[in-house]
Amino acid sequence: MRINKQNNLNFSSNASLIKNFKRAAGEGFAKIDDIGEGVNITLDFLGKAVLVPATIMLVSKEEKEKKEYSALKNPVAATLQLLMEVPILMYGSKLIEKLANKGKLDKEGSNFSYNEKAAKEGFTTALQEAAKKDETLKTKSVELIERLNKKGLNSNLKDAFQDSFEKLPEETSKALKKSLENYDTTHKRLYHLQNRVCFVAAIVLTPLLCAAEDFLFPKVMKLLKGEKTPPKGQSRVQISLQNFKSQVAKGDLKC
Amino acid sequence: MLKIAEQNIKNLANSTFAKKHITKCIENPKFLTATLLATSVSKDVFAYALRVHNTVKNKEIPEDKKSFVAKMDAITGVTTAVVQLSTGFMLASDKVQKNICKHLFSELGEGTKKFKQASKGFSVVSTLVGATLFAKRIIVPLISSPIASYLEHKHNQKGNSN
Protein backbone atom coordinates (compact mmCIF):
# COMPACT_ATOMS: atom_id res chain seq x y z
CA MET A 1 0.00 0.00 0.00
CA ARG A 2 2.81 2.32 0.98
CA ILE A 3 4.69 1.41 -2.19
CA ASN A 4 1.63 2.10 -4.34
CA LYS A 5 1.22 5.50 -2.76
CA GLN A 6 4.86 6.29 -3.45
CA ASN A 7 4.51 5.15 -7.10
CA ASN A 8 1.40 7.26 -7.54
CA LEU A 9 3.22 10.28 -6.16
CA ASN A 10 6.18 9.72 -8.50
CA PHE A 11 3.88 9.25 -11.46
CA SER A 12 1.93 12.42 -10.78
CA SER A 13 5.10 14.46 -10.20
CA ASN A 14 6.58 13.14 -13.48
CA ALA A 15 3.37 13.94 -15.32
CA SER A 16 3.32 17.48 -13.98
CA LEU A 17 7.02 17.86 -14.86
CA ILE A 18 6.30 16.83 -18.45
CA LYS A 19 3.29 19.16 -18.52
CA ASN A 20 5.42 22.05 -17.28
CA PHE A 21 8.14 21.25 -19.78
CA LYS A 22 5.64 21.19 -22.65
CA ARG A 23 4.15 24.50 -21.54
CA ALA A 24 7.59 26.10 -21.20
CA ALA A 25 8.66 24.74 -24.61
CA GLY A 26 5.46 26.09 -26.18
CA GLU A 27 5.86 29.50 -24.56
CA GLY A 28 9.53 29.59 -25.59
CA PHE A 29 8.94 28.72 -29.24
CA ALA A 30 5.98 31.14 -29.43
CA LYS A 31 8.34 33.96 -28.43
CA ILE A 32 10.69 33.28 -31.36
CA ASP A 33 10.28 36.23 -33.67
CA ASP A 34 13.05 37.17 -36.01
CA ILE A 35 14.84 34.14 -37.40
CA GLY A 36 17.48 34.87 -39.98
CA GLU A 37 21.13 34.55 -40.92
CA GLY A 38 22.14 35.02 -37.27
CA VAL A 39 20.58 31.63 -36.42
CA ASN A 40 22.36 30.00 -39.37
CA ILE A 41 25.72 31.42 -38.29
CA THR A 42 25.15 30.36 -34.66
CA LEU A 43 24.16 26.80 -35.59
CA ASP A 44 27.10 26.45 -37.95
CA PHE A 45 29.42 27.63 -35.17
CA LEU A 46 27.88 25.25 -32.61
CA GLY A 47 28.18 22.33 -35.02
CA LYS A 48 31.83 22.97 -35.74
CA ALA A 49 32.88 24.09 -32.27
CA VAL A 50 30.90 21.64 -30.12
CA LEU A 51 29.41 18.74 -32.08
CA VAL A 52 32.44 17.86 -34.22
CA PRO A 53 34.98 17.84 -31.32
CA ALA A 54 32.53 15.87 -29.16
CA THR A 55 32.06 13.30 -31.96
CA ILE A 56 35.84 13.03 -32.47
CA MET A 57 36.50 12.54 -28.76
CA LEU A 58 33.74 9.94 -28.40
CA VAL A 59 33.92 8.01 -31.69
CA SER A 60 37.39 8.39 -33.23
CA LYS A 61 39.75 5.45 -32.72
CA GLU A 62 42.92 7.50 -33.30
CA GLU A 63 45.64 8.04 -30.68
CA LYS A 64 44.73 10.38 -27.80
CA GLU A 65 47.10 13.14 -28.92
CA LYS A 66 45.83 13.08 -32.51
CA LYS A 67 42.26 13.07 -31.28
CA GLU A 68 42.85 16.07 -29.03
CA TYR A 69 44.52 17.96 -31.87
CA SER A 70 41.59 17.27 -34.24
CA ALA A 71 39.13 18.23 -31.51
CA LEU A 72 40.94 21.54 -30.93
CA LYS A 73 41.27 22.37 -34.64
CA ASN A 74 37.54 22.64 -35.24
CA PRO A 75 36.64 25.11 -32.46
CA VAL A 76 39.57 27.31 -33.57
CA ALA A 77 38.40 27.28 -37.21
CA ALA A 78 34.80 27.86 -36.08
CA THR A 79 35.78 30.81 -33.89
CA LEU A 80 37.76 32.41 -36.72
CA GLN A 81 34.80 31.94 -39.05
CA LEU A 82 32.46 33.44 -36.45
CA LEU A 83 34.74 36.43 -35.89
CA MET A 84 34.64 37.16 -39.61
CA GLU A 85 30.95 36.47 -40.31
CA VAL A 86 29.40 38.27 -37.32
CA PRO A 87 30.85 41.72 -38.19
CA ILE A 88 29.51 41.39 -41.76
CA LEU A 89 26.04 40.68 -40.41
CA MET A 90 26.23 43.30 -37.66
CA TYR A 91 27.72 46.21 -39.56
CA GLY A 92 25.90 45.32 -42.79
CA SER A 93 22.58 45.30 -40.93
CA LYS A 94 23.37 48.60 -39.22
CA LEU A 95 24.29 50.26 -42.52
CA ILE A 96 21.07 49.07 -44.18
CA GLU A 97 19.00 50.18 -41.17
CA LYS A 98 20.60 53.62 -41.31
CA LEU A 99 19.89 53.95 -45.05
CA ALA A 100 16.32 52.67 -44.63
CA ASN A 101 15.54 55.01 -41.72
CA LYS A 102 16.74 57.97 -43.78
CA GLY A 103 14.31 56.90 -46.50
CA LYS A 104 17.16 56.22 -48.92
CA LEU A 105 15.93 52.74 -49.82
CA ASP A 106 12.37 53.79 -50.68
CA LYS A 107 11.39 54.42 -54.26
CA GLU A 108 9.23 57.46 -54.98
CA GLY A 109 5.61 56.60 -55.68
CA SER A 110 5.97 53.06 -54.28
CA ASN A 111 4.11 52.03 -51.13
CA PHE A 112 6.62 49.25 -50.39
CA SER A 113 8.57 51.04 -47.66
CA TYR A 114 11.60 49.98 -45.62
CA ASN A 115 11.59 53.11 -43.43
CA GLU A 116 10.95 51.60 -40.00
CA LYS A 117 11.59 54.86 -38.16
CA ALA A 118 8.83 56.64 -40.09
CA ALA A 119 6.43 53.72 -39.62
CA LYS A 120 7.15 53.70 -35.87
CA GLU A 121 6.64 57.46 -35.60
CA GLY A 122 3.38 57.18 -37.55
CA PHE A 123 2.09 54.53 -35.16
CA THR A 124 3.23 56.15 -31.88
CA THR A 125 1.81 59.55 -32.97
CA ALA A 126 -1.56 57.93 -33.77
CA LEU A 127 -1.48 56.10 -30.43
CA GLN A 128 -0.66 59.25 -28.45
CA GLU A 129 -3.46 61.13 -30.24
CA ALA A 130 -5.94 58.39 -29.35
CA ALA A 131 -4.60 58.28 -25.76
CA LYS A 132 -5.55 61.95 -25.26
CA LYS A 133 -9.20 60.90 -25.44
CA ASP A 134 -8.94 57.77 -23.25
CA GLU A 135 -7.49 57.76 -19.72
CA THR A 136 -6.88 53.97 -19.55
CA LEU A 137 -5.09 53.99 -22.90
CA LYS A 138 -3.04 57.00 -21.78
CA THR A 139 -1.44 55.13 -18.87
CA LYS A 140 -1.09 51.89 -20.82
CA SER A 141 0.39 53.56 -23.93
CA VAL A 142 3.17 55.27 -21.91
CA GLU A 143 4.20 51.87 -20.51
CA LEU A 144 4.00 50.12 -23.88
CA ILE A 145 5.89 52.83 -25.77
CA GLU A 146 8.60 52.65 -23.13
CA ARG A 147 8.85 48.87 -23.71
CA LEU A 148 8.89 49.47 -27.46
CA ASN A 149 11.75 51.95 -27.18
CA LYS A 150 13.72 49.58 -24.95
CA LYS A 151 13.26 46.24 -26.71
CA GLY A 152 11.87 47.01 -30.16
CA LEU A 153 8.76 45.46 -31.69
CA ASN A 154 8.10 41.76 -31.06
CA SER A 155 5.06 39.50 -31.16
CA ASN A 156 4.42 39.78 -27.38
CA LEU A 157 4.47 43.56 -27.48
CA LYS A 158 2.30 43.57 -30.60
CA ASP A 159 -0.28 41.46 -28.74
CA ALA A 160 -0.11 43.83 -25.75
CA PHE A 161 -0.73 46.84 -28.04
CA GLN A 162 -3.65 45.09 -29.72
CA ASP A 163 -5.18 44.18 -26.34
CA SER A 164 -5.02 47.82 -25.28
CA PHE A 165 -7.05 48.83 -28.38
CA GLU A 166 -9.92 46.44 -27.59
CA LYS A 167 -11.99 48.79 -25.44
CA LEU A 168 -11.63 51.81 -27.74
CA PRO A 169 -14.33 52.99 -30.17
CA GLU A 170 -14.38 50.74 -33.24
CA GLU A 171 -13.08 53.36 -35.67
CA THR A 172 -10.11 54.35 -33.46
CA SER A 173 -9.29 50.71 -32.72
CA LYS A 174 -9.36 49.85 -36.45
CA ALA A 175 -7.12 52.79 -37.37
CA LEU A 176 -4.59 51.94 -34.63
CA LYS A 177 -4.51 48.27 -35.61
CA LYS A 178 -3.86 49.24 -39.23
CA SER A 179 -1.05 51.60 -38.19
CA LEU A 180 0.48 48.90 -35.96
CA GLU A 181 0.24 46.34 -38.78
CA ASN A 182 1.98 48.77 -41.14
CA TYR A 183 4.77 49.31 -38.59
CA ASP A 184 5.16 45.55 -38.02
CA THR A 185 5.28 44.79 -41.76
CA THR A 186 7.87 47.53 -42.37
CA HIS A 187 9.95 46.19 -39.46
CA LYS A 188 9.85 42.68 -40.94
CA ARG A 189 10.60 43.91 -44.48
CA LEU A 190 13.71 45.69 -43.24
CA TYR A 191 14.79 42.62 -41.23
CA HIS A 192 14.51 40.28 -44.24
CA LEU A 193 16.24 42.79 -46.52
CA GLN A 194 19.14 43.05 -44.03
CA ASN A 195 19.43 39.26 -43.94
CA ARG A 196 19.41 38.77 -47.70
CA VAL A 197 21.90 41.59 -48.37
CA CYS A 198 24.25 40.26 -45.67
CA PHE A 199 23.95 36.77 -47.18
CA VAL A 200 24.93 38.15 -50.62
CA ALA A 201 27.82 40.04 -48.96
CA ALA A 202 28.99 36.85 -47.21
CA ILE A 203 28.93 34.94 -50.53
CA VAL A 204 30.80 37.70 -52.38
CA LEU A 205 33.38 37.91 -49.57
CA THR A 206 33.82 34.10 -49.29
CA PRO A 207 37.17 34.02 -51.21
CA LEU A 208 38.50 36.77 -48.96
CA LEU A 209 37.20 35.09 -45.79
CA CYS A 210 38.73 31.75 -46.82
CA ALA A 211 42.08 33.39 -47.54
CA ALA A 212 41.97 35.19 -44.18
CA GLU A 213 41.08 31.95 -42.42
CA ASP A 214 43.90 30.07 -44.16
CA PHE A 215 46.30 32.84 -43.11
CA LEU A 216 45.16 33.07 -39.48
CA PHE A 217 44.44 29.40 -38.75
CA PRO A 218 48.06 28.10 -38.64
CA LYS A 219 49.12 31.13 -36.60
CA VAL A 220 46.42 30.56 -33.97
CA MET A 221 47.16 26.82 -33.86
CA LYS A 222 50.85 27.60 -33.44
CA LEU A 223 50.02 29.86 -30.51
CA LEU A 224 47.78 27.24 -28.91
CA LYS A 225 49.81 24.09 -29.50
CA GLY A 226 53.27 25.39 -30.37
CA GLU A 227 52.70 23.82 -33.80
CA LYS A 228 55.08 24.60 -36.65
CA THR A 229 53.47 26.87 -39.26
CA PRO A 230 53.13 25.05 -42.61
CA PRO A 231 54.98 26.61 -45.55
CA LYS A 232 53.04 29.12 -47.63
CA GLY A 233 50.46 27.54 -49.93
CA GLN A 234 50.78 24.14 -48.31
CA SER A 235 48.17 24.43 -45.59
CA ARG A 236 45.65 22.13 -47.21
CA VAL A 237 46.72 21.02 -50.59
CA GLN A 238 49.76 18.99 -49.67
CA ILE A 239 48.01 16.52 -47.46
CA SER A 240 48.41 12.89 -48.25
CA LEU A 241 45.55 10.84 -49.64
CA GLN A 242 45.14 8.96 -46.36
CA ASN A 243 45.17 12.18 -44.41
CA PHE A 244 42.60 13.61 -46.79
CA LYS A 245 40.26 10.70 -46.22
CA SER A 246 40.37 11.06 -42.45
CA GLN A 247 39.97 14.83 -42.66
CA VAL A 248 36.89 14.49 -44.87
CA ALA A 249 35.45 11.98 -42.45
CA LYS A 250 35.79 14.45 -39.58
CA GLY A 251 34.74 17.54 -41.50
CA ASP A 252 38.17 19.01 -40.72
CA LEU A 253 38.91 20.52 -44.12
CA LYS A 254 38.92 24.25 -44.30
CA CYS A 255 38.86 26.63 -47.24
CA MET B 1 32.11 53.48 -52.80
CA LEU B 2 29.34 53.91 -50.22
CA LYS B 3 27.18 55.67 -52.83
CA ILE B 4 27.56 52.71 -55.22
CA ALA B 5 26.69 50.26 -52.43
CA GLU B 6 23.69 52.41 -51.47
CA GLN B 7 22.42 52.51 -55.06
CA ASN B 8 22.88 48.76 -55.49
CA ILE B 9 21.04 47.99 -52.24
CA LYS B 10 18.23 50.37 -53.28
CA ASN B 11 17.93 48.71 -56.69
CA LEU B 12 17.91 45.26 -55.10
CA ALA B 13 15.39 46.29 -52.41
CA ASN B 14 12.98 47.67 -55.01
CA SER B 15 13.30 44.90 -57.58
CA THR B 16 10.13 42.89 -58.22
CA PHE B 17 11.96 39.71 -57.17
CA ALA B 18 13.07 41.11 -53.79
CA LYS B 19 9.64 42.59 -53.04
CA LYS B 20 7.90 39.29 -53.82
CA HIS B 21 10.52 37.30 -51.90
CA ILE B 22 10.33 39.50 -48.78
CA THR B 23 6.52 39.50 -48.78
CA LYS B 24 6.52 35.71 -49.04
CA CYS B 25 9.07 35.42 -46.19
CA ILE B 26 6.75 37.48 -43.97
CA GLU B 27 3.53 35.72 -44.90
CA ASN B 28 4.67 32.12 -45.30
CA PRO B 29 6.80 30.51 -42.53
CA LYS B 30 7.46 27.46 -44.72
CA PHE B 31 8.95 29.66 -47.42
CA LEU B 32 11.12 31.40 -44.80
CA THR B 33 12.38 28.00 -43.60
CA ALA B 34 13.20 26.96 -47.17
CA THR B 35 14.98 30.27 -47.77
CA LEU B 36 17.18 29.95 -44.67
CA LEU B 37 17.96 26.35 -45.55
CA ALA B 38 18.88 27.37 -49.08
CA THR B 39 21.14 30.24 -47.90
CA SER B 40 22.93 27.91 -45.48
CA VAL B 41 23.47 25.22 -48.13
CA SER B 42 24.50 27.67 -50.84
CA LYS B 43 27.25 29.10 -48.61
CA ASP B 44 28.67 25.58 -48.24
CA VAL B 45 28.30 24.79 -51.94
CA PHE B 46 30.05 28.04 -52.85
CA ALA B 47 32.91 27.30 -50.42
CA TYR B 48 33.37 23.79 -51.89
CA ALA B 49 33.23 25.15 -55.46
CA LEU B 50 35.92 27.63 -54.47
CA ARG B 51 38.06 24.78 -53.08
CA VAL B 52 37.72 22.81 -56.32
CA HIS B 53 38.65 25.91 -58.33
CA ASN B 54 41.67 26.64 -56.09
CA THR B 55 42.84 23.02 -56.27
CA VAL B 56 42.59 22.89 -60.06
CA LYS B 57 44.44 26.21 -60.41
CA ASN B 58 47.16 25.32 -57.85
CA LYS B 59 50.37 24.49 -59.69
CA GLU B 60 52.05 23.14 -56.55
CA ILE B 61 49.86 20.03 -56.42
CA PRO B 62 51.07 17.11 -58.56
CA GLU B 63 48.72 16.46 -61.49
CA ASP B 64 47.77 12.93 -60.35
CA LYS B 65 46.74 14.16 -56.89
CA LYS B 66 45.05 17.28 -58.24
CA SER B 67 42.13 15.55 -59.93
CA PHE B 68 41.61 13.25 -56.94
CA VAL B 69 41.53 16.12 -54.41
CA ALA B 70 39.25 18.19 -56.69
CA LYS B 71 36.94 15.22 -57.22
CA MET B 72 36.78 14.58 -53.47
CA ASP B 73 35.97 18.22 -52.75
CA ALA B 74 33.26 18.20 -55.41
CA ILE B 75 31.71 14.98 -54.09
CA THR B 76 31.78 16.21 -50.48
CA GLY B 77 30.15 19.47 -51.60
CA VAL B 78 27.38 17.67 -53.46
CA THR B 79 26.86 15.23 -50.54
CA THR B 80 26.64 18.15 -48.09
CA ALA B 81 24.06 19.91 -50.25
CA VAL B 82 21.93 16.82 -50.94
CA VAL B 83 21.94 15.55 -47.33
CA GLN B 84 21.22 18.97 -45.81
CA LEU B 85 18.42 19.75 -48.26
CA SER B 86 16.76 16.35 -47.96
CA THR B 87 16.97 16.36 -44.13
CA GLY B 88 15.71 19.94 -44.02
CA PHE B 89 12.76 19.37 -46.34
CA MET B 90 11.85 16.13 -44.59
CA LEU B 91 11.81 17.88 -41.20
CA ALA B 92 9.91 20.88 -42.58
CA SER B 93 7.17 18.72 -44.13
CA ASP B 94 3.65 19.36 -42.81
CA LYS B 95 3.20 15.76 -41.71
CA VAL B 96 6.32 15.68 -39.53
CA GLN B 97 5.75 19.15 -38.09
CA LYS B 98 2.06 18.52 -37.32
CA ASN B 99 2.88 15.29 -35.52
CA ILE B 100 5.64 16.76 -33.36
CA CYS B 101 3.82 20.03 -32.58
CA LYS B 102 0.60 18.19 -31.68
CA HIS B 103 2.47 16.31 -28.94
CA LEU B 104 5.01 18.92 -27.91
CA PHE B 105 2.65 21.89 -27.59
CA SER B 106 -0.48 20.02 -26.43
CA GLU B 107 -0.53 22.17 -23.28
CA LEU B 108 -1.12 25.32 -25.34
CA GLY B 109 -4.32 23.92 -26.87
CA GLU B 110 -4.36 22.95 -30.54
CA GLY B 111 -5.55 25.71 -32.86
CA THR B 112 -4.95 28.58 -30.42
CA LYS B 113 -2.91 31.63 -31.43
CA LYS B 114 -0.04 30.64 -29.09
CA PHE B 115 -0.02 27.10 -30.54
CA LYS B 116 0.28 28.49 -34.08
CA GLN B 117 3.08 30.87 -33.05
CA ALA B 118 4.96 28.07 -31.26
CA SER B 119 4.54 25.71 -34.26
CA LYS B 120 5.87 28.40 -36.60
CA GLY B 121 8.97 29.01 -34.46
CA PHE B 122 9.56 25.30 -33.96
CA SER B 123 9.28 24.55 -37.68
CA VAL B 124 12.10 26.96 -38.59
CA VAL B 125 14.37 26.11 -35.65
CA SER B 126 13.98 22.31 -35.88
CA THR B 127 14.61 22.34 -39.65
CA LEU B 128 17.77 24.41 -39.31
CA VAL B 129 19.05 22.43 -36.31
CA GLY B 130 18.38 19.14 -38.12
CA ALA B 131 20.02 20.24 -41.36
CA THR B 132 22.96 22.35 -40.20
CA LEU B 133 23.82 20.51 -37.00
CA PHE B 134 22.95 16.84 -37.38
CA ALA B 135 22.88 16.33 -41.15
CA LYS B 136 25.95 18.44 -41.91
CA ARG B 137 28.09 17.47 -38.93
CA ILE B 138 27.09 13.82 -38.36
CA ILE B 139 25.40 12.31 -41.44
CA VAL B 140 27.63 13.95 -44.09
CA PRO B 141 30.92 12.66 -42.58
CA LEU B 142 29.36 9.19 -42.27
CA ILE B 143 28.50 9.19 -45.98
CA SER B 144 31.66 10.97 -47.17
CA SER B 145 34.01 8.53 -45.48
CA PRO B 146 33.02 5.39 -47.48
CA ILE B 147 32.96 7.45 -50.70
CA ALA B 148 36.50 8.68 -49.90
CA SER B 149 37.64 5.10 -49.23
CA TYR B 150 36.13 3.88 -52.50
CA LEU B 151 37.69 6.69 -54.53
CA GLU B 152 41.04 6.28 -52.78
CA HIS B 153 40.98 2.55 -53.54
CA LYS B 154 40.16 3.28 -57.17
CA HIS B 155 42.85 5.95 -57.35
CA ASN B 156 45.46 3.58 -55.88
CA GLN B 157 44.46 0.83 -58.32
CA LYS B 158 44.85 3.26 -61.22
CA GLY B 159 48.24 4.36 -59.88
CA ASN B 160 49.44 0.74 -59.58
CA SER B 161 48.33 -0.19 -63.11
CA ASN B 162 50.22 2.84 -64.49
Instruction: Provide the chain B residues 83-102 that lie in CB contact (below 8 A) with chain A.
Output: none
Q: Is residue B21 in a domain?
A: no
Q: Is residue B123 in a domain?
A: yes
- Provide the angle, in degrees to the nearest 10, between the axes of the packed helices A2-31 and B94-104: 130
Q: What is the pTM of this model?
A: 0.82
The answer to whether the CB atoms of A192 and B25 lie below 8 A apart is yes
State the complex-level ipTM. 0.87
Among residues B16, B82, B95, B97, the alpha carbon closest in space to that of B44 is found at: B82
pLDDT, residue B64, reads 74
The residues, any chain, with a CB within 8 Å of residue A12's CB and separated by 6 or more, are: none
Name the closest residue on chain B to residue A187, using Cα atoms. B26
pLDDT, residue A226, reads 66
| Whole-angstrom distance, CA of residue B71 vs CA of residue B66 | 8
pLDDT in tens, B5-50: 889 999 999 999 999 999 999 999 899 999 999 999 999 999 899 9
**A99–B contact, CB cutoff 8 A:** yes
> What's chain A's Rg over C-alpha atoms?
27
Burial code (b: 16+ CB inside 10 Å, e: under 16) for B69-82 equals bbebbebbbebbbe
pLDDT, residue A64, reads 79
| Whole-angstrom distance, CA of residue A51 vs CA of residue B137 | 7
Residues of chain A falling short of pLDDT 50: 1, 228-242, 245, 249-255
Q: Is residue B49 in a domain?
A: yes
Long-range contact pairs involving A139-147 (C-beta distance under 8 Å, separation at least 24): A140/A164
Q: Where are the alpha helices (DSSP H) in A32-63?
A: 37-46, 52-59
Q: Is residue B24 in a domain?
A: no
Q: Is residue B69 in a domain?
A: yes
Residue A196's CB is within 10 A of a number of other CB atoms, namely 21
Residues of chain B falling short of pLDDT 70: 159-162
pLDDT, residue A10, reads 63
Give SS3 for A226: coil
The answer to whether the CB atoms of B118 and A245 lie below 8 A apart is no
Q: Is residue B92 in a domain?
A: yes
The residues, any chain, with a CB within 8 Å of residue A50's CB and separated by 6 or more, are: A75
Cβ pair B124, B29 in contact under 8 A: yes
Q: Using an 8 Å CB-CB cutoff, list chain A residues near B19.
A: 112
Among residues A205, A197, A235, A234, the alpha carbon closest in space to that of A217 is found at: A235
pLDDT, residue A232, reads 44
Cβ pair A78, A49 in contact under 8 A: yes
pLDDT, residue B90, reads 95
Cβ pair A128, A119 in contact under 8 A: no
Tell me which residue in B50, B132, B145 faces A43 most closely, judged by beta carbons.
Answer: B132
pLDDT, residue A126, reads 94
Residue ranges covered by each domain of chain A: 2-107+208-229, 116-192
pLDDT, residue A9, reads 57
DSSP tag of B107: G
| Whole-angstrom distance, CA of residue B107 vs CA of residue B111 | 11
**Number of structural domains in chain B:** 1
Domain extent, residue B106, equals 29-161
Instruction: Provide the chain B residues 3-22 that lie in CB contact (below 8 A) with chain A.
Output: 5-6, 9-10, 12-14, 18-19, 21-22
Q: Is residue B59 in a domain?
A: yes
C-alpha distance across the termini of chain A, in Å? 67
Q: Is residue B110 in a domain?
A: yes
